[in-house]
Chain A
């Protein structure tokens, strides 16, 4: 490798760094053999400064650039642009933050520290190599797992954007669950399923199951099982919309099967069609005894309580700990319910429910009145717990992603919200990732559609080529990196008849360097943060 020609550009930010003696620094840096030019400036990030920087790079044939100025966060992109204008790869620059991290961070003369920081950047710059961009082909097909409202509307929206989708449905038909929720949500499922049936962009595979997945964003190889047969199909992105599961919390073990204690769904069915005769004179709802996930139970209860009032005119009592009104329109529903005469009783400890003389007896301590309330009702609608869909855990391990503290898909990490996963090209929408009401689900769907569109719309995507790269000669195929990569970007590939080695997908890699930090064979190089480049910065310590 021929010696680098380093150009150092120092900016004193219009005189804002008075505690640094710049001429001294220049003198010291000028003495470094491969530093071709040291430039002092006061306005490096402005047009004038950038123009001077550009002509210096060109005139002196600079091939590595060091900028010592403000925090890279602010202006790095501006200086990278200068490099590009000079036909230099933008990775051939190293920045020293002498403003926020030096001049402004300390009192007194900080010339020595500033000089040290610049030397660290020089040490790193010397070893920098270009990173080129390249285009990768992506498969313009989206897989949607789930057959509920989220999955169906995702398919419709993706189709509108010209993307072909496959709906993988566990049930025997689309929208089985959604139909039951039609009234609650005020949406019609039939038009949706009809639209999907007509849509040439949407394929439906029912009674099927996802059993395997390999590959990375842009090209996932998905194994699907249907009717005892398995096939593999390739997709550019996958959206999971597998919904929640509801369980009726056992109230009183003895009374569980009683027709007096029913589920919300059963109540909804009664309300829709065959009302029990005679109509119940009093109905009680119970929810939120565990104070967990009761956003959806609140909504169902409010809707059903109103429906009972409307259809049967019964007395309605609601026992709960908290009315969870943190969704659109919920407070309004709550208000309406109270106006129509629904009585809310707030408890701290779960109420006792028993059957007495064919009626249900509820005992609770009402915290607002501070009294014990005992009530006898014709029907009690039991508490429902919303939890992750069956099979979520299998999906988690199959996808190599994390679930949240309650077992729903998507890790509790704020950087993934709203719909992303730790793997590029995999999205979670709707109630599979938590207790979302319809308004939130609608937003989720559109967000995921946007994500898939961004990845696939052009049929190819531009990535940084081999920024993090495994050296096949050094790799011992120990699989350590594959195990630790948080973005599942590494796969084992066969290079010849004898050897398999780890290979990083440029598209799936998020450039964290965790693999490079752990590889026992030191086979992984991370351009910009390679061992040599990091150690070169430490090296300066001794010199100072």
Chain B
């Protein structure tokens, strides 16, 4: 397993939040690989599973705040899919905590940082990550 965290980031929320974190010099671990998606609801269970197949240590799906999704319910769809992929992962012996869904707003870089740090903390326990 590599140490990489794959983060599918909604372009309306998490991607701009990540950019702001960079601009404000809020540093986080390098093992985060951000894949922009137009809406968290674009993320398919297959994408999550493939990421693990390719050796990701963790997968994050980051979307808009509850109630503020640009596509009304893309974030809740994403949450359902993350939950489903968690059960699939558990079935093949991968700890379900390796996949997570979080909500944040585009202007909350600190929240973005917290999510990345938290994930790395979890990985410390589970192995992999930084």
Contact = CB atoms under 8 A, between A and B. Distances in A.
Please determine if A and B sit in direct contact within the complex, based on CB atoms under 8 angstroms apart: yes
Interface of A: 71-73, 97, 99-108, 110, 113, 116-117, 120, 402, 411-415, 422, 484, 486-487, 510-514, 516-518, 526, 529, 531, 534-535, 537-539, 541-542, 544
Contacts of B81: 517
A26 to B, nearest CB: 20
A124 to B, nearest CB: 9
Interface string B5-26: 0100000000110111111011
Nearest to B20: A100
A514 B71 contact: yes
Contacts of A103: 22
A512 B41 contact: yes
Nearest to A113: B30
Given A110-B30, A514-B74, A538-B50, A529 B42 contact: yes
Contacts of B83: none
Contacts of A73: 15-16, 19
A534 B72 contact: no
Interface residues of B, number: 46
Contacts of A414: 68
Interface string B79-110: 00100000000000000000000000000000
Contact of A120 (B33, B37, B39): B33
B31 to A, nearest CB: 8
Interface of B: 2, 4, 6, 15-16, 18-23, 25-30, 33-39, 41-44, 46-47, 50-51, 54-56, 67-74, 77-78, 81
Contact of B71 (A110, A402, A486, A542): A486
A540 to B, nearest CB: 8
The 9 closest A-B pairs by CB, nearest first: A100-B22, A513-B42, A514-B41, A512-B71, A512-B39, A104-B22, A486-B72, A100-B19, A71-B19
Contacts of B4: 541, 544
A535 B71 CA distance: 23
A116 B3 CA distance: 13
B68 A415 contact: yes
A512 B38 contact: yes
B27 A514 contact: no
Contacts of B15: 73
B65 to A, nearest CB: 10
Contacts, number: 129
Contacts of B20: 100
B47 A535 contact: yes
A486 B20 CA distance: 29
B34 A101 contact: yes
Given A99-B22, A541-B6, A516 B42 contact: yes
A516 B43 CA distance: 9
A413 B69 contact: yes
A342 B18 CA distance: 56
A514 B6 contact: no
Given A422-B72, A513-B37, A529-B38, A542 B55 contact: yes
Contacts of B39: 512-514
Contacts of B43: 517
Contacts of B69: 413
B67 A412 contact: yes
5 contacts: A402-B72, A486-B74, A513-B37, A514-B41, A541-B6
A512 B2 contact: no
A338 B101 CA distance: 54
B23 A100 contact: yes
Contacts of B46: 531
Given A100-B19, A104-B22, A538-B50, A517 B41 contact: yes
A71 B51 CA distance: 24
A412 B27 CA distance: 35
A510 B12 CA distance: 13
A489 to B, nearest CB: 11
Given A105-B18, A117-B33, A538-B6, A415 B38 contact: no
A120 to B, nearest CB: 7
A74 B19 CA distance: 10
Contact of A106 (B28, B56, B68): B28
A432 B123 CA distance: 50
A514 B77 contact: yes
B15 to A, nearest CB: 8
B26 to A, nearest CB: 8
Contacts of B71: 486-487, 510, 512, 514
B108 to A, nearest CB: 15
B44 A517 contact: yes
A539 B28 contact: no
A113 B30 CA distance: 7
Given A513-B37, A514-B73, A538-B54, 10 more contacts: A102-B22, A105-B22, A106-B28, A412-B67, A486-B71, A512-B42, A516-B42, A526-B42, A529-B42, A541-B4
A411 B77 CA distance: 17
Nearest to B78: A517
B41 A541 contact: no
A513 B43 CA distance: 8
